[in-house]
Amino acid sequence: MTHYDLVVIGTGSGNSIVNHRFADWKVAIVERGTFGGTCLNKGCIPTKMFVHTADVAATPAGSARYGVDEELTGVRWADVRDRIFGRIDPISAAGSEYRHHNPENANVTVYDGTGRFTGVKELTVEGNDGATSVVTGDRFVLAAGSRPVIPPIMGLEETGFHTSDTIMRLDELPRRLAILGSGFVAAEFAHVFSSFGVEVTLIARSKTLLRGEDAEIAEHFTEIARGKYDVRLQHETVRATRRPDGAIELMMLHPEGKQLLVVDELLVAVGRTPNADLLNPQATGVEVDREGRVVVDEYQQTAVDGIYALGDLTSPHQLKHVANHEARVVKHNLIEPENRIKSDHRFVPHAVFSSPQIAAVGLTEAEAQEQGIDYVVSRQKYADIAYGWAMEDTTGFAKLLADPNTGQLLGAHILGPQASTVIQPLIQAMSFGLGAYEMARNQYWIHPAMPELIENALLALPLTPKS
């Protein structure tokens, strides 16, 4: 049994905690999978590299409206895949090498294996090489992330399927792909594979895709998606079978009856569950809530003094910028326990990198209504700003909600080109309390740039000056 000052479990955002400020600490890092975690290896980064490539592949299909005739003559899947992972895999390997062998990490021991609490502040690591080690620590950081949910569909395991963990490493592009789910992962991969020429069928139980978004955004996105690939709404997949010819047959229930779908590959994208169960946190007194998340306070500390948790393991926002923010809070609180800081989850934004993009922060209109909050609303189409004319955009818009009493923004929802970038000034305004009326009028907005979408949406809010 070896004792450490600090034990970090998980090398996603958890890995960013240990730096020169911990040089005097004896540190253990435990990682069961690929160094760098989900975002680097299987999440944000490769998906966005595929999404950008898909945007390029989709360009010819939309260029005729500008009077430019282009043709997509092919997508070299193996080249796309190998370019992307040819860049990512060495970064992950270098991160692992750095922690294992670089003299700057002389105080750090890496355990390649799965950690599981077997007592109070005692972790048993089943090494990937079969060896077992027991480590104890004064402090722990639980940063073990989440994994894809596999729904209980008859025959699914025997049939075989992909998740976001494996779909990006396919040997070749399938002719037909079914995607089960209607959230972030489904929306992004539907764009990627349909742009690459794959016949995509998206199977959703809900009445709209992306139902966590503001209802107007979700409805518009669903309508646009239906024009690009086959979208089956209100379909419950009940059985999967592998046919003798190798194809996959899915049986779905729909209000109007049973349906069969035959595809070559299946991507399951129905959510992610925290990896808390792998850690057996109860053995050290750490609480887990009904959703399976490790419970933390505003300092990111669990019920046990000195045991902190962060990221997908604990947060309802399964987003990298949230995991990174929480890692910075935990780092500070470890180094300065007498002067701890709180994490700030007031205005957590997100973006869906599909086509079109979606970005949002704050309340949806339905949430404002449910919470009985007084609000005013404005909408601004890309089609009615100069850059929208340049892009010939016909579907994009921004929707803003503001409190008429305080003049503060309550929510922002954007569907359209570069939504993930265009939204940033609104996140800033909400975070720093800048009034919507003043924001619109007391600064220059570059003409004729895309943020004029925001300027006009702000000007359209029926507000009065507050300062």
Ligand X SMILES: NC(=O)c1ccc[n+]([C@@H]2O[C@H](COP(=O)([O-])OP(=O)(O)OC[C@H]3O[C@@H](n4cnc5c(N)ncnc54)[C@H](O)[C@@H]3O)[C@@H](O)[C@H]2O)c1
For the annotated catalytic residues, the residue numbers are 447
Residue 399 interacting entry, from ligand X, ligand FAD, none, C-beta within 5 to 8 Å by type: none
Q: How far is the CB of 354 from ligand X (least distance, A)?
A: 9
Which is nearer to ligand X, 186 or 261 (by Cβ)? Answer: 186
Residue 99 as a binder of ligand X (CB under 6 A): the answer is no
In 143-183, the DSSP E strands lie at: 146-148, 176-180
In order of 160, 199, 252, 323, the CA distances from 245 in angstroms are 14, 18, 20, 44
- The smaller minimum CB distance to ligand FAD, of residues 241 and 424, is found at 424
Measured in residues, the chain has a length of 467
The stretch among 61-69, 318-326, 381-389, 441-449 that binds ligand FAD (CB under 6 A) is 318-326
**Cis before residue 349, ω within 30 degrees of 0?**
no
DSSP assignment of 10-43 equals -SSGGGGT-SGGGTTS-EEEEESSSTTHHHHHTS
Closer to ligand X by Cβ: residue 137 or 356: 356
Q: What angle (nearest 5°) sits at the alpha carbon of residue 357, between those of residues 355 and 360?
A: 155
Q: Which is nearer to ligand FAD, 173 or 434 (CB)?
A: 173
Considering the rule CB under 6 A, would residue 44 count as an interface residue with ligand FAD?
yes
Quick check: 350 binds ligand X (CB under 6 A)? yes
* Tokens encoding 18: 């240990």
**Residue closer to ligand FAD (CB basis): 415 or 434:** 415
Q: Tokens at residue 191, please?
A: 């764009």
Residue 180 binds what, of ligand FAD, ligand X, none (CB under 5 to 8 Å, by partner type)? ligand X
Query: What end-to-end distance do the CA atoms of the chain give, in Å?
Result: 62
**What is d(CA 91, CA 447) in angstroms, rounded to the nearest whole number?**
39
**CA pair distance 39, 311, nearest whole angstrom:** 11
User: Closest Cα to residue 323, out of 116, 73, 103, 38?
Assistant: 38
- Residue 205 is a binding residue for ligand X (CB under 6 A): yes
**Is 161 labeled as ligand-binding?**
no
From 59-67, 107-115, 204-212, 449-457, span contacting ligand X (CB under 6 A): 204-212
Judged by CB under 6 A, the chain residues 261 through 300 that form the site for ligand X are: 269-272
Q: Is 185 annotated as a binding residue?
A: yes
- 305 contacts: CB under 8 Å, gap ≥ 6: none
388 is in an annotated binding site: no
Q: How far apart are CA 409 and CA 419, in angstroms?
A: 17
Output the smallest distance, CB 101 to ligand FAD, in A.
Answer: 19
| 237 is an interface residue for ligand X by CB under 6 A | yes
**Structural tokens at position 177:** 């792909």
The residue count for binding ligand X (CB under 6 A) is: 24
By CB under 6 A, residue 182 contacts ligand X = yes
Eight-state DSSP code of residue 385 = S
Dihedral sign of CA atoms 399, 401, 402, 408 in order: negative
Interface positions with ligand FAD (CB under 6 A)? 9-14, 30-33, 37-39, 42-44, 47-48, 114-115, 143-145, 164, 185, 275, 278-279, 311-313, 318-321, 323, 353
Annotated binding-site positions for FAD: 48, 115, 312
Interface positions with ligand X (CB under 6 A)? 151, 180-186, 188, 204-206, 211, 237, 269-272, 318-319, 350-353
Annotated binding-site positions for NAD(+): 181-188, 271
